[in-house]
Amino acid sequence: MFSKILIANRGEIAVRIIRACKEMGISTVAVYSEADRDTLHTALADEAICIGPAPARDSYLDPGRIISAALASKAAAIHPGYGFLSENAGFARLCRDNGIAFIGPESDEIERLSDKSAVKEAARMAGLPIIPGTGPLPSLSDALRAAEDIGYPVMLKACAGGGGKGIRPAYSSEELAAIWPVAEAESLAAFADRSLYLEKLIEGARHIEVQMVSDEQGHAVALGERDCSIQLHHQKLIEESPSPAVTEAQRAKLLGMCEEAIRRIGYTGIGTLEFLMDRSGSFWFMEMNVRLQVEHGVTEILTGIDLVKWQIRIAAGIPLSFSREDIIPRGAAAEVRINAEGAGRIKAVHIPGGPSVRFDTFIEPGTAITPYYDSLLGKLIACSATREELARKLRASLCELVVDGVPSNIGSQLGIISGEAFAGGSYDTSTMEAAR
């Protein structure tokens, strides 16, 4: 096992990883930008090293600065968390070139499975049903021809996209022609890559992701699905498990299919397989995430499996000690993302409690919320014996949660949890857009 791990991230995920390391008896090194000098993750870690000014490109996204900090602190491994460099094949390669373990997949796996076209081909070869679509498109004329073959409506997507960015629907050739230059410019600005591809738009779909964990010995376990359909502008707001739209028979088939696919693909580590479920109940593979997900806590609280600890163990070569048959879900669980809606300084925080309620966060009185990074303040995660009881617990917890000093979306999230669509489990990926 690693004696010391550097966490190449910030905010709530850095705090989450540090706490897992402490429970495992592993020393931790935090890195921070000048804007994060006094944040919680720097105080909790055994060591903390400044890696540059506030802009992420000059600190958290600078591989050289992070490697220098790891070498200076004699860290044996680097945990990238999610976002930033977590899916950067070059960074993973740089870690290993410097004798530092990267807690995640091998660099060639990241490269292969982060390429939208390559991962779809790998998934198809592994037996997963693929959404009709294209690879990178050289020009608008190519896109127009492809769209006619696929059939409208279609989704125009950035090849380097992520986090819901770089996605635009088109319902006709005229609309596709109009959004093409806008999508190109948007992709170039967000990802420094203007390449785009097309995918069939499945309307009224559920966004279902399957949490996978696999070791170096070839064991793959599907830890259940999460329903991420409550989203706005392709940004997830609430995730729950199990999905109220998936039957037991569908679930058994889907999880078995995913385990077989991961074995065939040859993936090692923590990851998710992302699907759209259409109105007929068919699943269509979209993409794979080769990292820890923001919503990993839903699966943790439901199954009792600590995904962060297992991510570290797998990177150290330790085999899985459980199979899918060993997992007994504890009812129903969900995560509500609490986001800042402006900058400021936290004046007061009250975190709700009670059995099977947790709030993953980095904020405390005095924490500065700056415009430099993601707006996520914390994640309210809860579990109950039934979905009906879970909804009541989430409502009570949101009413109890206080974040004073910056505007947040607590009120709007309470409105969603209290609404008919969530209560009935009848929502899909378009529900939030239609409600606006």
Residue extent(s) of CATH 3.40.50.20 domains in the chain: 4-103
The architecture (CATH level 2) of 4-103 comes to: 3-Layer(aba) Sandwich (3.40)
Give the pLDDT confidence of 42-85 residue by residue, as tens digits.
999 999 999 999 999 999 999 999 999 999 999 999 999 999 99
Give the pLDDT confidence of 88-131 residue by residue, as tens digits.
999 999 999 999 999 999 999 999 898 777 888 889 999 999 99
Question: How many Å apart are CA 325 and CA 404, to the nearest integer?
Answer: 44
Give the pLDDT confidence of 298-354 residue by residue, as tens digits.
999 999 999 999 999 999 999 999 999 999 999 999 999 999 999 999 999 999 999
Question: How many Å apart are CA 75 and CA 67, to the nearest integer?
Answer: 10
The one catalytic residue among 65, 112, 226, 291: 291
> Phi, psi (5° rounding) for residue 63?
-60, -40
CB 16 within 8 A of CB 331: no
What is the pLDDT at residue 27? Answer: 98
The model's pTM: 0.91
- β-pairing, 77-79 vs 47-50, is unpaired
Which of these, 19, 25, 22, 23, lies nearest to 1 by C-alpha position?
Answer: 25
Residue 218, Cβ density class (10 Å: 0-12 exposed, 13-18 middle, ≥19 buried): exposed
What is the pLDDT at residue 169? Answer: 92
CB 34 within 8 A of CB 9: no
Residue 406: how many other CB atoms lie within 10 Å:
20
Cis preceding-peptide flag for 132 (omega within 30 of 0): no
Give the pLDDT confidence of 191-233 residue by residue, as tens digits.
878 899 999 999 899 999 999 999 999 999 999 999 999 999 8
Please compute the mean of the pLDDT values over residues 3-16 and round it to a whole number.
98
Q: What is the dihedral of CA 188, 66, 314, 273, to 10 degrees?
A: -10
Does the structural domain 206-435 have CATH classification 3.40.50.2300? no
What is the pLDDT at residue 163? Answer: 61
For residue 162, pLDDT beyond 70 = no
Return the SS3 of 362. Answer: coil
Residue extent(s) of CATH 3.30.1490.20 domains in the chain: 132-200
Pick the CATH number of 132-200 from 3.90.550.10, 1.10.240.10, 3.40.630.30, 3.30.1490.20: 3.30.1490.20
Label residue 164 by pLDDT band (50, 70, 90): low
Q: Is 291 a catalytic residue?
A: yes
For residue 385, pLDDT beyond 90 = yes
Give the pLDDT confidence of 148-158 residue by residue, as tens digits.
999 999 999 99
Give the pLDDT confidence of 17-41 residue by residue, as tens digits.
999 999 999 999 999 999 999 999 9
Residue extent(s) of CATH 3.30.470.20 domains in the chain: 206-435
